[in-house]
Amino acid sequence: MKNLISLSWKNIWRNKVRSSVIITAIAIGLFSGTFMFSFMNGWILGTIDSDIRTQYSHIQIHNSDFLANNDISAYFFADDVRRGVLNTPGNSEPETGRMPYAPTIAFRLNLNGMLASSHNALGITAKAVFPDEEMLVTDVWKHIADTMGGFFTDDIRMPIVISSRTAEKLRVRLRSRIVFTFQDMNGDIQNLAFRVVGIYHTTNAIFDQATAFVRYTDIFPYTALPENAVHEAALLFPSIEEANQAFPVLKEKFPDKTVRLWSDLNPALAMYFSYTEFMGLIILGIFLFALSFGIINTMLMAVLERTHELGMLRAIGMSKRNVFSMIMLETVFLTFVGSIIGIILGIAVILPTMETGINLSFMMEDQFEDFGFSSIIYPIFSLAMLMQIVGLVLLAGFFSAIYPARKALKLKPLDAMRS
């Protein structure tokens, strides 16, 4: 076997030009496939993570009636959910009566109303939050530029945080006065004046246009709700996997409420998550499938050019098995060398962009954000992805070698020597 491996390696370099051409083609194909695989993973997983941390969190809990029409009277009490979450038994630690990992919780009031300035008015959902809790569950505050204020300040009465898109439509800026109008639980109209203290800009234009943030303690006295009432509990876990494990436990714990996982809150995100790796593998498979025809053609030419040589080898005693193995090894070597070069080139390009990102705004400016996608993509590359790529490459090399190797087996020693 050692001699067979050495002979196969030398054979692929007998025609350096042809071998170099097919190796270059494989390298370019694998470079493109690896980069596209990482780019797609970064795009989709980055969008999912951004939406979870900005808009949805991993799990949300509501009063079952609230989801029907966002009725202000469909509330629950924050303390009941807080105690329930902290005391929910986990499968791995049933003796403690607590979950093996505690989520971060933020409670909110969701108030639909009209936000108006002296220039314009628009419908919006005001999220009444506890700033310290909210900053642990969402990252909206990270999307406020240094020159655009902050996520609430103690020195301003009745502060409100709006998006840059809302500010543009209302034609307001920092310190501007705007009025929020909504209907309290008794059906009375409430008009509250707020002062803009922060202007944020996320990668999701739909969320930005529909959401503003106010302090729970500022707006609660005007809602006519009972003490400690909230509309929404947002739970953030360390990872999606932990959230998925906790979901059925929480759903069983709160049968009288609607407990929804991030995939239920936005089914499109769940679809993206399910098909991310699959679609990446499909794209890479298409690259390799196209390259396999070039590999087959190259090896078939090599077999036909060496008809006399292969006949001589069979005549002096080389078995069909060794001839088959030699052709297979030559094909695998060609594929493997080209693939290694392509993957190394791909990683060399991907690693810097994993930190800096790839800005696509030059293509469509900020129109990506209108559909909920960031215009800056951070490719993702992992060891598991590398193993999948290598596995596909080896499969492509193996199947590409079968036809040329079988062609070599069909050669009859005497006829090959005569030719």
Contact 254, 81 (CB under 8 A): yes
pLDDT band of residue 353 (cuts 50, 70, 90) is confident
Tokens of 128: 């009444």
Measured CA angle at 324 (ends 319, 328), to 5 deg: 150
CB 223 within 8 A of CB 109: yes
Q: Residue 382: inside a domain, yes or no?
A: yes
**28 shares a domain with 90:** no
Tell me the mean pLDDT in the region 266-275: 73
Separation between Cα atoms, residue 417 and residue 419, nearest integer Å: 5
Q: Are residues 318 and 333 in the same domain?
A: yes
Rounded CA separation 129/99 (Å)? 25
pLDDT confidence bin for 124, thresholds 50/70/90: very high
Q: Can you give the pLDDT at residue 332?
A: 82
pLDDT tens string 298-348: 777 777 777 777 777 777 777 878 888 888 888 888 888 888 898 889 888
Note whether 71 and 20 are same-domain residues.
Answer: no
Q: Are residues 95 and 224 in the same domain?
A: yes
39, 181: one domain: no
Whole-number pLDDT of residue 94: 41
Give the pLDDT of residue 195. 94
- Res. 283: pLDDT tops 90: no
Report yes or no on 113 lying in a domain: yes
The type of residue at 187 is G
- Residue 416 has what pLDDT? 55
Q: Model confidence over 314-327: pLDDT tens digits?
A: 777 778 788 888 88
Q: Are 104 and 139 in contact (CB under 8 A)?
A: no
Task: Confirm whether 99 is domain-assigned.
Answer: yes
- Local structure of 76: helix, strand or coil: strand
- Same domain, yes or no, for 72 and 29? no
84 and 156 share a domain?
Answer: yes
189 found inside a domain: yes
Which of 185, 213, 236 finishes a domain?
236
What's the pLDDT band for 93 if we cut at 50, 70, 90?
very low
- Kindly state whether residue 242 falls inside one of the protein's structural domains: no
Question: What value does the mean pLDDT take over residues 180-191?
Answer: 94
In a domain, 144, yes or no: yes
* Residue ending a domain, choose from 216, 236, 256: 236
Q: Is the pLDDT of residue 135 over 80?
A: yes
Mean pLDDT (whole number) for 79-94: 67
Same structural domain, 90 and 217 = yes
pTM for this structure? 0.72
Q: Is residue 248 part of a domain?
A: no
Look over the chain and give the mean of its residue pLDDT values, rounded to a whole number: 83
Residues 208 and 288 in one domain: no
Check if the beta carbon of residue 290 is closer than 8 Å to that of residue 22.
Answer: no
Closest to 108 measured CA to CA, from 70, 148, 142, 143: 70
Q: Are residues 84 and 38 in the same domain?
A: no
Amino acid symbol at 289: F
Same domain as 301, residue 205: no
- Give domain status of residue 249, yes or no: no
Please give the average per-residue pLDDT across 160-183, as a whole number.
94
Backbone angles phi, psi at 267, to 5 degrees: -60, -30
Beta strand 189-200 with 159-163: parallel, antiparallel or unpaired? parallel
Provide the domain count of the chain: 2
The residue range of the domain holding 13 is: 2-52+270-418
